Structure 1
Amino acid sequence: MASNKIAVAVIHGMGSQGKKTQGVDELSFSAGLYKRLKEHMGNQFFQRVGWREVFWADILQSRQEDFIKDNLAAKGARWMKTRRFVMHNLADAASYRRNKGDVRDQIYHRIHARVHQTIARLEEITDANTPLVILAHSLGGHIMSNYIYDMMKGDPEVAAGSDFQQLKTVAGFVTFGCNIPVFSFAYKPQDIHPIKYPGTNIPQSKRLHPWWVNMNDKDDALGMPLAGTSPGYQALAASGHLDDRWIDSGGALEFWNPASHNGYWTDRHFYRPTATILRNAMGIGPVT
């Protein structure tokens, strides 16, 4: 156990995260969660954790900010805070889609390339046989679900060489402030299928149960349970592989209202169950 390691990939969701490109080894949006988990679990544990972020906001945010400045603020539009919230949230969700028929539409590919970059870096700093845990906030859950789906279907945007890069050592998937159901209404319920367990290299006896935990605050308008999305999701929950949980997130000014969507990162109701998942993943050991 003392020599075991885990890799953690953290991806942000929709909203204003910054328009400056971030290095693969930098921490920004997940720094608060990293700090709380490290304090809660101890330095000795975290010496065996490889933690990296998937940062993709800059791909979209510069154009959004330019539009806000040139076409709204400069022309006297009111409710600018609300307009910024709507722009950054709706534009992110609307722009992220796969459109193979249009070579000019590169957003899906560029975001998935960032995911690949982070996964490849985690393999470098841990090992190819290290269990991987994915923490995905908001739209990041939809992005990672698509990334896993494409990979398992053999149709990834970026070719992955090793089993680690192909996500075959994924031990757990944690979504929070999850809005995957929003993207499901174009299809009939019976045609909506959740991803299958990607960590196929992990022996059955060592797999986490549930392997997908979905945590949402009841006051978070953008955070939704998954089981009711379709019969496929319902079956995943009924089998115990998917666990939808309601939690209270955010500080005194957030936990009771929609601002709780961004309150998960430092809240004990989120980081404590996440710590349990990381401990359990650490117990798996090297995946051979």
Structure 2
Amino acid sequence: MKLAVAIIHGIGTQPAQLDAEGHHLFAQPLIAALRLRLGAEADQVAFQSLYWANVLDDREFAYLEKLKEEPVTWRWLRRAVTLFLGDASGYRKVSEAYDTTYQEVHQTVRQGLQALRAKVGAQTPLVVLAHSLGGHIFSNYAWDQQQLNSTPSCALDPFLGLETLAGLVTFGCNIPLFTFAYNPVLPIRFPGHCLSATVREQARWLNLYAPADALGYPLRPLPNYAAVVSEDRAMAVGPWYKRHTPLSHMEYWNDGGFHTYVADYLHQLLPVCSD
């Protein structure tokens, strides 16, 4: 395999259902569309979904079940708020030793990357496609990993050390909302240290957001992010009745324009990747 592609989901409940290849339901339409657009080159790409929803879903559903006994109204809205904001508030790094949610989420990311590593070599370039809160989660995971990779050298396993990270596509990304507590605001180091010169030249962090997506934001206006984010691209996604509304936040997965945008970048990167 010449290239590895990991796909991480964002906020909201996600079923744990897998297909025959072990890909989670949320990633299946995107993987199928990318393979179609890549054609014969798809055989040179290993895909893997990164699934973390199970860490928080059970807790959120348990609370919603108990809420049925309470005299509250607007239940559909409360459900949406609980499942969406519950993810964002539940995933945070706190000082209490007994609160391990942050590490539990990162452990699921690590397990997904290990499954992907089993399909590729230690030097294989990695592209991560991250939706919504998944962009923030992967950014935190990468930041923590980079603190371990304290010197500009290759880790024992460069792939698992994220030192072969060659591409990052964030979509519907809300990283800016989590930066306001920090001064200075610093992004992750990008790209990885252990890339060939030709791959490094094609390395890109691409950020795409739908203009009506109230949970998707440009990244380059953040302090220091313009140095690592190559592009903020505004693109309406979804069917006509959703693409100009906040409901577009969940429509990237099935949007042909977004599929083409990602496939075009993979087409650009693949020729400089070696087997």
Q: Same fold (TM over 0.5)?
A: yes
The answer as to 2:207 corresponding to 1:214 is: yes
Aligned equivalent of 2:169: 174
In the TM superposition, structure 1's runs of 4+ consecutive aligned residues that sit over 4 Å from their partners are 20-24
- SS class of match (1:62): helix
- For 1:277, the aligned partner's letter is Y
Aligned equivalent of 2:56: 60
Q: What is the Cα deviation at residue 153 of structure 1?
A: 1.2
Aligned match for 1:282, one of 266, 270, 274: 270
Aligned equivalent of 1:225: 218
Aligned equivalent of 1:133: 127
* Mapped contact 2:202–2:268 kept (Cα < 8 A): no
Distance (whole Å) between structure 1 residues aligned to residue 145 and residue 34 of structure 2? 29
Q: What is the Cα deviation at residue 286 of structure 1?
A: 3.2
* Mapped contact 1:179–1:224 kept (Cα < 8 A): yes
Distance (whole Å) between structure 2 residues aligned to residue 161 and residue 111 of structure 1? 24
Aligned equivalent of 1:17: 14
Deviates more, 1:56-65 or 1:192-201: 192-201
Aligned match for 2:101, one of 97, 103, 107: 107
Q: What is the Cα deviation at residue 124 of structure 1?
A: 0.8
Q: What is the Cα deviation at residue 36 of structure 1?
A: 1.4
Distance (whole Å) between structure 1 residues aligned to residue 198 and residue 123 of structure 2? 17
Distance (whole Å) between structure 1 residues aligned to residue 204 and residue 215 of structure 2? 22
**Alignment identity in percent?**
35
- SS class of match (2:26): coil
What is the RMSD computed on CA atoms of the aligned residues? 2.2
Q: What is the Cα deviation at residue 21 of structure 1?
A: 8.0
Per-residue deviation, residues 235-276 of structure 1 (Å, max 9, x unmatched)? x16xxx521110011112211100000000111221111001
Aligned equivalent of 1:242: 230
Per-residue deviation, residues 207-239 of structure 1 (Å, max 9, x unmatched)? 255610000000000000011122x123x16xx
Aligned equivalent of 1:199: 192
Distance (whole Å) between structure 2 residues aligned to residue 139 and residue 49 of structure 1? 25
Distance (whole Å) between structure 2 residues aligned to residue 97 and residue 249 of structure 1? 29
- SS class of match (2:69): helix
* Mapped contact 1:171–1:208 kept (Cα < 8 A): no
Aligned equivalent of 1:34: 31
Aligned match for 1:150, one of 132, 137, 144: 144
The answer as to 2:259 corresponding to 1:271 is: yes
- For 1:61, the aligned partner's letter is D
So what's the TM-score if we normalise by structure 1? 0.87
Distance (whole Å) between structure 2 residues aligned to residue 58 and residue 84 of structure 1? 17
* Mapped contact 1:216–1:245 kept (Cα < 8 A): yes
Q: What is the Cα deviation at residue 155 of structure 1?
A: 7.7
Per-residue deviation, residues 92-115 of structure 1 (Å, max 9, x unmatched)? 11111122x322111111111111
Count of aligned residue pairs for this structure pair: 270
Distance (whole Å) between structure 2 residues aligned to residue 110 and residue 13 of structure 1? 16
- For 1:204, the aligned partner's letter is A
Q: Which runs of 5+ in 1 are unaligned?
A: none
Distance (whole Å) between structure 1 residues aligned to residue 76 and residue 233 of structure 2? 31
Q: What is the Cα deviation at residue 79 of structure 1?
A: 1.8
The answer as to 2:159 corresponding to 1:164 is: yes
